[in-house]
Structure 1
Amino acid sequence: MDSQRNILLIALLFVSFLLFQQWNMDSNPQPQSQGVAQQTNISGDVPSHSDEGQTIPDQGSSKHLITITTDVLALTVDTQGGDIVEAKLLAYNNELDSTDPFVLLKNIQNHVYTAQSGLIGANGIDSATTGRAQLHATADSFTLPAGQDELRVPLTYQKDGISYTKTFVLKRGSYAVDVDYTIDNKTDKPATVQMYAELKQNLMDDGGSLTMPTYRGGAYSTDEVNYKKYSFDEMQDKNLSLEIKQHGWAAMMQHYFVSAWIPREQGVSNLYTRTVGDYGYMGVRLPMTTIAAGQTDTIQSTLWVGPKLQKQMEAVAPNLNLTVDYGWLWFIASPLHSLLSFIHGLVGNWGVAIILLTFIVRGAMYPLTKAQYTSMAKMRMLQPKLQAMRERLGDDRQRMSQEMMELYKKEKVNPLGGCLPILLQMPIFIALYWALMESVELRHAPFFGWIHDLSAQDPYYVLPILMGITMFMIQKMSPTTVTDPMQQKIMTFMPVMFTFFFLWFPAGLVLYWLVSNIVTLIQQTLIYRSLEKKGLHTK
């Protein structure tokens, strides 16, 4: 039956379509115009306590910057407002073989990406009229001492008989930064304040490429929605305003890295977005807090600023680990990533872990593979009978269809038996693709020899070429019923097309596909030998 090979081709093209569709989803929105700050250092904006979230103009150059350093983070804080204007991730290089750490938050002329927070309300210290409060620090730099697990950095401010202390709390090995406001109301009247915490970034999207799709934009979680992206395009179209009653966060993310504000106060917080000029804002307003006369109260929030480490993020806030976006096949991709991490813990090399994971996955799918090639071999044996049937019945398609079904039933052959296993394998292949694509652990991870970064393309294209050769070998070994010359040319061209396509794939993904092809060749050889012993011809 000629349709046997056609269906297999359609299945392969369908995989490509699904990948391309997912790339388009994750590569949007399209790049927006990039705002250029007028000065190198720009202090944060302040939303009013109205629902509209209006802002004040930027305040210009900062008066004072301080640094806070732990074993994994180096933060720069602007004491005018106490915003984090730079965050260096000390365990991650900016580029392969570079000694410079990766900078997630930054405040430079062509790219502003900062984490802002402040107090608004009747007794707030940040407002649209007076601007940001100039906080006081006891030193210019703070470093987590050896042997100490926690570092607390207080910034203080006095206003109208009320003492305000903004404290940054950092812990060893953690990318979660607690930001607490302690209000000591020494007056004889109640004081009302509201904390806001937001992320500010240029309206931009770095886009990535077809083989390395990336997303730069917003994302959020509420009690009703576990995880949802909210792009800069969407921010420009509509200001978001949602309630957080128990669990939620507002984030901005990019490939491998994410920053997110998590409110810690009881009550209803407001999750919002807004755009001002060429900047997008995404943040939370915590519940209004009233401090009685002569009393002290603390308002708490947490900022995650770091790589997409699933276990750590899950411990910081519910659903924050979902920023490692596996798409609609997350329920398959997540266990695969866990298995990959477990294997890496045993072997210590991510490339070897990918190879072993591929053997495990393909081994688990061996029954499907065997059923696929057995069905294809049986279909090939029926070709002479089918050809004689075509010659006898001519253009009588209805009669042809009836007799074909009778023949399949008599010979106990399922005409779809060769392609159904492929359809069942598709979700696993695609899920594993995204598990590897989203793994920050593979960023700058070496394999062997010339492969120094599994997240980048093979510099000498050795793996893609080997992948193409193995794909061609699989095609030649596979039983086929195709007799049409045009279809034969298309099938012959497929390995060339995929080799070209894979030239720009990250090396880790090509390694998986190459090993998967090698496993397929081994399985084909074993299956065909078994079939030939049973009298089923595979060629």
Structure 2
Amino acid sequence: MSEGDDVLTIPLRWINSKGMVINKIITLERGSYLIGVKYRVENSSAEKLSATFFGQLKRDQLVEEDNSGGGLGIRAYLGSAYSTKEKRYERYDFDDMNEANLNVSTEGGWIAYLQHYFISAWVPDQSKVNQIATLTPGGMGIIRVMSPKVTVNPGELLEVGGHLYLGPKIQEKLEVIADGLDLTVDYGFLWWIGQPLFWLLHWFNSIIGSWGLAIIMVTVTVKSLFYPLSNAQYRSFAKMRTIQPKITALKERIGDDRQKMSQAMMELYKKEKVNPLGGCLPLLVQMPVFIALYWVLLETVELRHAEFYLWIHDLSAKDPYYILPLLMGASMFLMQKMQPVAATMDPMQQKIMQFMPVIMTVFFLFFPAGLVLYWLVNNLLSIAQQLYVTRKIEREFAEKNSKKSLSKPSKKQKS
């Protein structure tokens, strides 16, 4: 493409001995990942011809190692997907292909190969009824689209065409090409939470101009929305800490009788108005949002090669010096120390819990830096909130005990 030109047209021409001329015209636009493919059929022969638009992609069925999701066995989807009038977005992986090849007709539609941040998609004429199909010859995975056959009479000229998208999964570009193509940015079954989180992430980046800071701002926003639930969780932890001396006294008095200890604990919780599940329920409510945000950060191609400060040059790759994972592990260790240990937990369970920060740190060593940044900031905010709530509850507890001691008459007054 010459300097100053925005469009490059590549004409290819084929002529047979009977006078049929086929012109294949490939159109490239500057700054666009969408390629126009058009066939112009000129029938200069004395016979009728039939023509159809045909687009095909193929690759081997080898699923490559993908550590995009870190060391937890979570990986971005690798395989094909398609769209019909009835199904806006449907995955069709290699196992599906080997079980039964796809062969459907639909108005419009598209078919594509997805590989983490990238997509290769054939988009035929959306006004026609097209055929979408897969084939699996010799261990290959082939996807194709075909438009309806059209008769070209002698002396007539016919044009058929479509588009081929080869590029990153950028939602704002995909949604204008074909219906449902933007859904290839797949946030899983929690997409209805993930999509608003992506819009929020994108909005913060448009204002701040840094994807790393945008991740931090989204984390702060989500944490703020769940502040009341987190507050209830940390109040429960704090109350458990204030009655810890009484729990210790029960252990010394009851000993190893676990059934009797459980009954005594329930009576103590009831007397002190402490909910033993109060710290778990708020966390369970928040988990879907955390998982959805995890998938958003995993699927967002804009984070690829996005720099942050100091040593982080790519938020989609692991931290080259493992500083963020180690800081995250330290924050998890501190959070664990701040939480009360359940009285009914046996020594083996306690040892396992003590090793959890170490185990999680090892996993996070291979996570993309953007994901680790999110988790680290979330932990730091949790620590700050828990410290604030714990100190507040301890002051309330101290004031309550002080009032009780003042309200009790002294021995001299009794006599």
TM exceeding 0.5:
yes
Taking the TM superposition and a 5 Å limit, the aligned residue runs for 1:51-66 are none
- Aligned residue type for 2:159: T
1:454 equivalent among 315, 325, 335: 315
1:237 is aligned, of 99, 106, 129, to 99
Q: Which residue of structure 2 aligns with residue 315 of structure 1?
A: 176
CA distance in 1, matches of 2:153, 2:126: 17
Residue 418 of structure 1 corresponds to which residue in structure 2? Answer: 279
Letter in 2 for 1:175: Y
- Closer/same/farther in 2, CA of residues 198 and 360 from structure 1, 3 Å limit: same
**Kindly tell me: are residues 407 and 313 of structure 1, through their superposed partners in 2, closer, same or farther at Cα, counting changes over 3 Å?**
same
Alignment equivalent of 1:164, drawn from 22, 27, 37: 22
Deviation at 1:190, TM superposition (A): 4.1
**For the residues of structure 2 that align with 1:162 and 1:205, how far apart are their CA atoms?**
43
Give secondary structure in 1 for the equivalent of 2:148: coil
Q: Does 1:211 align with 2:38?
A: no
Q: 3-state SS of the aligned residue for 1:316?
A: coil
Partner-residue secondary structure (3-state), 2:26: strand
Q: Deviations over 1:367-395 (max 9, x none)?
A: 11101111233345566489869959x78
Aligned to 1:97: none
Whole-angstrom distance in 2 between the partners of 1:530 and 1:147:
66
Matched with 1:366 is 227
Question: Normalised by the size of structure 1, how large is the TM-score?
Answer: 0.66
Say whether the 8 Å CA contact 2:107–2:126 is kept in structure 1: no
Q: How does 1:79-228 map to 2 (within 5 A)?
A: 143=1, 145-159=2-16, 160-187=18-45, 190-209=48-67, 211=70, 213-228=75-90
Deviation at 1:193, TM superposition (A): 1.3
- With the length of structure 2 as denominator, give the TM-score of the two structures: 0.85
**Which whole-Å CA distance do the structure 2 matches of 1:310 and 1:338 have between them?**
10
Structure 1 residue 152: Cα displacement: 2.3
Paired residue secondary structure (1:223): coil
Deviations 1:42-68 (A, max 9, x none): xxxxxxxxxxxxxxxxxxxxxxxxxxx
Code of the residue aligned with 2:32 in structure 1: it is: S
Which secondary structure does the structure 1 equivalent of 2:53 belong to?
Answer: strand
Give the one of 389, 396, 406 matched to 1:527: 389
User: Counterpart of 2:411?
Assistant: none
Give the AA of the match of 1:179. V
Matched residue, 1:444: 305
Cα distance in 1 between the residues matched to 2:258 and 2:226: 40
Amino acid at match of 1:238: A
CA-CA distance at 1:460 after TM superposition: 1.5
Taking a change above 3 Å as real, the CA distance of residues 301 and 358 of structure 1, as seen in their structure-2 partners, is same
User: How far apart, in 2, do the equivalents of 1:256 and 1:226 lie?
Assistant: 20
CA shift for structure 1 position 263: 1.1
The 5 Å alignment of 1:466-477 reads 466-477=327-338
Contact 1:205 1:215 (C-alpha < 8 Å) held by counterparts: no
Q: Give the length in aligned residue pairs.
A: 389
Tell me the percent identity.
46
Farther-moved stretch of structure 1 (424-433 vs 146-155): 146-155
Alignment check: 8 A CA contact 1:161 1:186 kept: yes
Distance 1:526 1:168 in 2: 63
1:492 matched to 2:350: no
Secondary structure of the corresponding residue to residue 136 of structure 2: strand
* Structure 1 contact 220–251 (Cα < 8 Å) conserved: yes
* 5+ long unaligned stretches in structure 2: 400-415
1:306 lines up with 2:167 in the alignment: yes
Asked whether the equivalents of residues 326 and 434 of structure 1 are also in contact (C-alpha less than 8 Å), the reply is yes
Change (3 A) 1:298 1:536: farther
Return closer, same or farther for 1:193/1:520 CA change in 2, 3 Å cut-off. same
Equivalent positions of 1:291-302 (< 5 A) are 291-302=152-163
Q: Hey, what does 2:409 align to over in structure 1?
A: none
What CA distance in whole angstroms lies between the structure 1 residues aligned with 2:161 and 2:40?
Answer: 9
Change (3 A) 1:395 1:266: closer
What is the SS of the residue equivalent to 1:475?
A: helix
1:208: how far off? 1.1
Query: Which blocks of at least 5 consecutive residues in structure 1 are unaligned?
Result: 1-142
Separation of aligned partners in 2, 1:221 and 1:261 = 11
Instruction: Please give the secondary structure, in 2, of the residue aligned with 1:457.
Output: coil
Question: Contact 1:265–1:299 at 8 Å: present in 2 too?
Answer: no
Distance in structure 2 (CA, Å) of the matches to 1:289 and 1:415: 72
Mapped partners of 2:272, 2:326: distance in 1: 41
Contact conserved, 2:76 with 2:299, CA < 8 A, in 1?
Answer: no
Which of the pair is proportionally richer in helix?
2
* Matched residue SS, 1:520: helix
CA distance in structure 2 between the aligned counterparts of 1:347 and 1:484, rounded to whole angstroms: 49
Structure 2 CA distance, aligned partners of 1:380 and 1:296? 84
RMSD of equivalent CA atoms: 2.8
Return the alpha-carbon distance in structure 2 between the equivalents of residues 405 and 257 of structure 1: 58
Query: Which one-letter code corresponds to 1:298 in the other structure?
Result: E
Q: How does 1:328-477 map to 2 (within 5 A)?
A: 328-380=189-241, 384=246, 400=263, 404=266, 408=270, 413-477=274-338
Matched-pair contact (CA < 8 Å) for 1:206–1:215: no
Are the counterparts in 2 of residues 207 and 216 from structure 1 also a CA contact under 8 Å? no
* Distance in 2 between residues matched to 1:396 and 1:419, nearest whole Å: 22
Where does residue 369 of structure 2 map in the other structure?
A: 507
Match of 2:340 among 475, 479, 491: 479
